[in-house]
């Protein structure tokens, strides 16, 4: 069961359709409604290991649907402090709740200034509209 | 027709071919022959082949003269299988998909593994595929292969290793088998250890110990096995292997000048997403009826492109089906009896040739269906002399192993008898020098 289209105001967005929720020194990351909608029902999540280093704009894992595979692009650099095992076991959680239960990893940011390079909800919505 | 496509001469159809590569002269072909003359010419060419049935053959070395029952060709000859294309549309390919699913099931039962693919080209490319799997599972870039593994398998692994960015380390054999201590030493930082059971010399390897040595070094144990040996030898899945591969020819494929045959690859379920090739899965349709589909397609090139689990995304359905029919025809009991018969005859051959005074370089090991015999003269000469008397005495081992130019690799299958072995021993005694 998929969620309805939304792009929460409190998140920062990456053009590769990933989002970041900043909480102090840490950020929770996931994929946007648009990403899960394009992929279709997710069947597999290949996460990074806890402790792995994420580098902004580079792939850190994979999600698969029945007909597509997509690299997860890191919106921020940092060290992985948690992986959402629920999504590993039930990848379709991302389709139902991409911004809540469907979070993918939590990182300790190594360079918070990278946030300035991310889009706010309005800018991300505009990016989607321009692409159509 | 020229008018329909909008040109006035055939030449115009080639206008995009650059002048520099055009032939500009007629092809140099022989003059035409009448049908009768062509048939005579082809028959003459064909007569230069020696079918294995027309001489007593002890040739093996990777491709074996096992009995292929008539039911195999009967099933393979059915139009539904013979002319079927790849089952991309499950709604019209249930027969082929079910056959492949049953083939995969048979391979898993045979090898003790959790999941099999729909087959590979042959026993060499599945070895390369296994290396690529291991690289991605372990993150390591070295592969260890026993020297007692089929030379063509090793050669193909090396060919692919270049492209995969893998270093290949060969562990020399010791008296015809592979030493687990040597494997442990070589396998540091290795992604996989590949050994063959029975090995290229026909000898039984200490397979569980080799698998354990690989695992201790953190490498994936990969066993390259003879499918028809698995009625008497333990399944790789039950002694710690992560991947089981092999050449399927012995199971129901005719010799066919060396091919086409099929390779098989099966693995533990945890590695399924790294597996190459097609995989058929069981599911239900919209009305809840059991059906089959190609599954886990996201591993493959048409979706994952350069990150696919292999650049070979095809299989050998017809030949693999031959393997399935053969295994079903034999059944577990028949497979066991076949293995016992081969081993008994190989032991007899060892005895008989030793009694005739020939040295057996690997006399200390237990053979499955092949032994190595030193004939005391260059093996090529012995082969020539023996064939002049209607017997092909075996493979010239010196082709692949230095220092073995006077050795033959002699294969005995259930199609050979003790009388055949006696004849070989007598003949070798005449033409060779024990």
Mean pLDDT of A110-121: 94
Domains of chain B, by residue range, sit at: 52-67+332-431, 70-324
Mean of per-residue pLDDT scores for chain A: 93
Residues in chain A within 8 Å Cβ distance of B298: 44, 64-69
A105 closest CA partner among A120, A122, A87: A87
- Please name the member of B273, B298, B307 whose beta carbon is closest to the beta carbon of A68: B298
Q: What is the pLDDT of residue B433?
A: 65
In DSSP terms, B171 is beta-bridged to: B146
Residues in chain B within 8 Å Cβ distance of A65: 298
Q: Minimal Cα distance from A46: which residue of B?
A: B273
Q: How far is A72 from chain B (nearest CA, A)?
A: 14
Element (H, E) at B253: none
Q: Give the C-alpha separation, B397 to B59, whole Å.
A: 11
The answer to whether B225 touches B126, Cβ cutoff 8 Å, is no
Structure-token pair, residue B375: 């004939």
Element (H, E) at B400: none
Q: Give the C-alpha separation, A29 to A16, whole Å.
A: 12
The answer to whether B276 touches B118, Cβ cutoff 8 Å, is no
pLDDT values of chain B reduced to their tens digit, one per residue, 434 residues:
999 999 999 989 999 999 999 998 999 999 999 999 999 999 999 999 888 889 999 999 999 999 999 999 999 999 999 998 888 899 999 999 999 999 999 999 999 999 999 999 999 999 999 999 999 999 999 999 999 999 999 999 999 999 999 999 999 999 999 999 999 999 999 999 999 999 999 999 999 999 999 999 999 999 999 999 999 999 999 999 999 999 999 999 999 988 899 999 999 999 998 999 999 999 999 999 999 999 887 777 777 777 788 877 788 999 999 999 999 999 999 999 999 999 999 999 999 999 999 999 999 999 999 999 999 899 999 999 999 999 999 999 999 999 999 999 999 999 999 999 999 999 999 998 65
Q: How far is A71 from chain B (nearest CA, A)?
A: 10
Q: What is the pLDDT of residue A117?
A: 93
Alpha-carbon dihedral sign for residues B125, B127, B130, B136? negative
The phi, psi pair for B251, rounded to 5°, reads -95, 80
Alpha-carbon dihedral sign for residues B77, B79, B83, B88? negative
Q: Are the Cβ atoms of B307 and A69 closer than 8 angstroms?
A: yes
Q: Are the Cβ atoms of B297 and A67 closer than 8 angstroms?
A: yes
Q: What is the pLDDT of residue B72?
A: 98
Tens-digit pLDDT profile for residues B108-131: 999 999 999 999 999 999 999 999
Under CATH, which architecture does the B70-324 domain have?
3-Layer(aba) Sandwich (3.40)
Tens-digit pLDDT profile for residues A16-56: 999 999 999 999 999 999 999 999 999 999 999 999 999 99
Strands A59-65 and A69-73: antiparallel
Residues in chain B within 8 Å Cβ distance of A64: 298
- Strands, E, within B91-238: which ranges? 115-116, 142-146, 167-171, 190-197, 220-225
Q: Are the Cβ atoms of A67 and B303 closer than 8 angstroms?
A: yes
Distances from the Cα of B214 to the Cα of B122, B172, B290, angstroms:
24, 16, 40
Tens-digit pLDDT profile for residues B13-48: 999 999 999 998 999 999 999 999 999 999 999 999
DSSP B184-251: HHHTTTEEEEEEEES-TTSBPP-HHHHHHHHHHTTPEEEEEE-GGGTTTSPPGGGTT-SEEEEE-TTT
Q: Provide CB contacts within 8 A for B359, sequence distance 6+.
A: B373, B374, B376, B434
Q: Is the CB of residue A64 less than 8 Å away from at least one CB of chain B?
A: yes
Structure-token pair, residue B115: 């999941």
Q: Is B403 left (phi over 0), alpha (psi -120 to 50) or beta?
A: left
pTM, two decimals, is: 0.87
Q: Which domains does chain A have, with CATH numbers?
A: 12-131 (2.40.50.100)
Residues in chain A within 8 Å Cβ distance of B303: 67-69
Q: What is the pLDDT of residue B297?
A: 79
Whether complex ipTM tops 0.95: no
The answer to whether B283 touches B291, Cβ cutoff 8 Å, is yes
The answer to whether A49 touches A26, Cβ cutoff 8 Å, is no
**Within a 10 A sphere around the Cβ of B215, how many other Cβ atoms?**
17
Q: Provide CB contacts within 8 A for B186, sequence distance 6+.
A: B144, B169, B171
CATH number for region B52-67+332-431: 3.90.1150.10
Pick the residue of A69, A72, A88 with the most B CBs within 10 A to test the interface with B by mutation: A69
Residues in chain A within 8 Å Cβ distance of B297: 66-67
Q: Are the Cβ atoms of A69 and B273 closer than 8 angstroms?
A: no
């Amino acid at each position: 069961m998929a969620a309805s289209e939304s792009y929460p105001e409190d998140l920062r967005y990456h053009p590769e359709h990933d989002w970041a929720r900043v909480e102090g020194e840490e950020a929770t990351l996931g994929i946007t409604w648009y990403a899960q909608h394009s992929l279709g029902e997710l069947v597999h999540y290949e996460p990074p290991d806890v402790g792995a280093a994420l580098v902004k704009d580079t792939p850190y894992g994979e999600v698969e649907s029945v007909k597509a595979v997509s690299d997860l692009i890191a919106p921020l650099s940092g060290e992985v402090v948690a992986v959402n095992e629920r999504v590993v076991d039930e990848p379709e959680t991302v389709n139902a709740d991409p911004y809540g239960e469907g979070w993918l990893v939590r990182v300790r940011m190594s360079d918070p200034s990278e946030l300035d390079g991310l889009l706010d909800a309005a800018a991300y919505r505009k990016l989607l509209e321009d692409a159509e | 027709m020229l008018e329909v496509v909008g040109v006035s001469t055939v030449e115009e159809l080639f206008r995009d071919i650059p002048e520099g590569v055009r032939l500009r002269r007629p092809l140099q072909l022989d003059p035409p022959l009448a049908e009768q003359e062509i048939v005579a010419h082809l028959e003459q060419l064909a007569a230069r082949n020696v079918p294995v049935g027309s001489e007593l053959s002890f040739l093996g070395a990777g491709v074996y003269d096992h009995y292929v029952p008539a039911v195999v060709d009967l099933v393979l000859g059915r139009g539904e299988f013979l002319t079927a294309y790849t089952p991309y549309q499950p709604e019209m390919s249930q027969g082929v998909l079910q056959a492949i699913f049953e083939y995969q099931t048979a391979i898993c039962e045979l090898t003790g593994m959790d999941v099999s693919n729909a087959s590979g080209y042959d026993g060499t490319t599945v070895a390369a595929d296994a290396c690529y799997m291991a690289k991605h599972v372990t993150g390591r870039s070295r592969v260890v292969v026993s020297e007692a593994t089929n030379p063509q398998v090793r050669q193909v692994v090396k060919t692919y290793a270049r492209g995969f960015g893998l270093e290949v380390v060969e562990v020399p054999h010791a008296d015809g088998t592979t030493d687990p201590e040597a494997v442990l030493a070589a396998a540091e930082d290795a992604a996989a250890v590949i050994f063959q059971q029975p090995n290229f010399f026909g000898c039984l390897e200490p397979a569980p110990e080799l698998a354990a040595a690989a695992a201790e070094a953190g490498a994936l144990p990969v066993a390259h096995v003879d499918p028809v040996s698995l009625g008497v030898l333990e399944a790789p899945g039950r002694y710690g292997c992560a991947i089981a591969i092999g050449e399927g020819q012995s199971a129901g494929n005719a010799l066919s000048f060396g091919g086409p045959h099929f390779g098989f690859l099966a693995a533990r379920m945890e590695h399924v997403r790294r597996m190459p090739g097609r995989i058929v899965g069981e599911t239900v349709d919209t009305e809840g009826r059991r059906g089959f589909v190609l599954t886990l397609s996201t591993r493959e090139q048409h979706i994952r492109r350069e990150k696919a689990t292999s650049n070979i995304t095809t299989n050998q359905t017809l030949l693999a089906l031959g393997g399935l029919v053969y295994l079903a025809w034999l059944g577990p009991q028949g497979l066991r009896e076949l293995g016992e018969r081969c081993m008994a005859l190989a032991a007899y051959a060892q005895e008989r040739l030793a009694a005739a005074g020939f040295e057996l370089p690997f006399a200390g090991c237990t053979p499955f269906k092949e032994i190595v015999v030193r004939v005391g003269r260059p093996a090529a000469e012995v082969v020539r002399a023996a064939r002049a008397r209607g017997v092909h005495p075996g493979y010239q081992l010196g082709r692949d192993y230095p220092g073995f130019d006077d050795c033959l690799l002699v294969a005995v299958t259930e199609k050979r008898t003790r009388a055949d072995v006696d004849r070989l021993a007598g003949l070798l005694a005449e033409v060779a020098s024990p």
